[in-house]
Amino acid sequence: MIAGTVCLMMILTGCKSGSDTASSTAAASASARTKTTAMKGDVYDSFTQAVNNRATVDNYTVAVSNTYQMTYSDDTMDAYDMDGVLQMAGDTATISQNIDSNGLRSTFSGDWYGNRLYNTYNGITYYEDMDADKLKASLLVPLDPLAFDESMIDKITGTTDDDGNVSYTIAIAQDSLSSLFEQRYDQYGLNQYDSLEVKDGTITDTFDAQGHFTGETVQFDTVVTLSGQEVDTLYKSQVTYTQIGTTSVTISDDKKAEEAQYVSYQNIDTDSIQTLTDDDDSAESTVTATFQKRLVTRLNYTVDGSKYTSAFNDGNESYMIDFDQHIFEYSNRTIHYIYNWKSDTETMGACTANFTDNTQSSDCKDSTVDTMKQVKQWLEMELYYCGLTLDELVAETK
């Protein structure tokens, strides 16, 4: 796919940068606000059972990211970042992807149906025939867990939380580091440098109480040699599933009529594709600052002080994010749902719900609480579209 070619070019041709970037941390998990307990017994057997017997559905939303952070001997850095979101509903999906190489930006967004992706790449439209597996592979991060052979594992630990989520953290054995990293995770081809050494690797897989695979965080520490210079290269990736079993995707007839005019990717003029260099999409030093920037550059929010707003449906509905108050507000005419990500609570009129404790006030109706949960998911989606997660935002707030 064109996206993969562009990524490979970016990882091999970067420009120096002295700035740090916000990182995707493995500490962000669904159990961040709940008590966890160390697993006892045969953790490896429990892990393989969780992977091999996981519950699956054909509609879900998955957010992904990966980062290559290269540190040179003079402490300057290169950063290569990718994030994307796939919303899958059976045989229909939408996909978006952002790639940033030290400020050199590429964007992809498309609709998938009839085993064909109708895509827009930096303003150029085209279609490409592909099945669901190829569509998922285009996100450049493995979306499914792997039941590692026991010989590949140096150490494995497991935890459970009060909500029934189970997490397994795996330290990869030295003999398996290079092959696993190169064959499964390194989509950009670090082995094309003069040499590549993989020093260590850690993987955490999480499953919910119903047995669904809900996410993976990965980190590999590597060293590449380029023209005789050793460059420390930190690889991180993250996969987060949400709206499992509830995701729906609708593509209008007008949109399909427009996409019917797209040409095959084989017939586009690749010389006409321009990297988006005048729209700085690179990560800032904090999650909050990155979110604020990308709300504007990616999602077209307007800014008034600490408040970021997006109106839609002819202005009858809106999202408002107030960073001073740590709130996300969804408004539908005179009805307002206000979610506070610092306290993990939400209000609508006299109804108050606490998502951490799973409690609500006596004034709450079940339908109101259901909408509150959906509003929280809408904030999560805005974060996903900005290459971030709610857990990362919460961790920085506290």
pLDDT tens digits for range 294-344: 999 889 999 999 999 999 988 899 999 999 999 999 999 999 999 999 999
Q: Is the pLDDT of residue 52 over 80?
A: yes
Mean of the pLDDT values across residues 169-178? Answer: 98
Whether the CB-CB separation of 243 and 91 falls below 8 Å is answered with: no
Residue 387: count of CB within 10 angstroms of its CB: 29
- SS3 assignment, position 86: strand
Averaged pLDDT of the chain: 88
pLDDT at 398: 78
Q: Please list the alpha-helical segments (H only) found in the chain.
A: 2-12, 43-52, 132-137, 177-180, 253-259, 287-297, 366-385, 390-397
pLDDT at 273: 61
Least confident of 74-78, 93-97, 388-392: 74-78
Q: Is the pLDDT of residue 58 over 50?
A: yes
Q: Is the pLDDT of residue 119 over 70?
A: yes
Give residues with Cβ within 8 angstroms of 124, minimum separation 6: 268, 272, 273
Q: Is the pLDDT of residue 194 over 50?
A: yes
Mean of the pLDDT values across residues 98-103? Answer: 80
Q: Quote the Cα angle for 380-385-387, to 5°.
A: 90
Q: Token pair 């002819």 is at which residue?
A: 314
Whether the CB-CB separation of 89 and 249 falls below 8 Å is answered with: yes
Distances in Å between the Cα of 379 and the Cα atoms of 198, 215, 372 are 37, 18, 11
Mean of the pLDDT values across residues 162-169? Answer: 95
pLDDT-derived band at 11 (thresholds 50, 70, 90) equals very low
Q: Is the pLDDT of residue 93 over 90?
A: yes
Residue 291 burial by Cβ neighbours in a 10 Å radius (0-12, 13-18, 19+): buried
pLDDT at 140: 93
Distance of CA 30 to the CA centre of its chain: 14
Give the whole-angstrom CA distance, residue 98 versus residue 106: 6
pLDDT at 270: 62
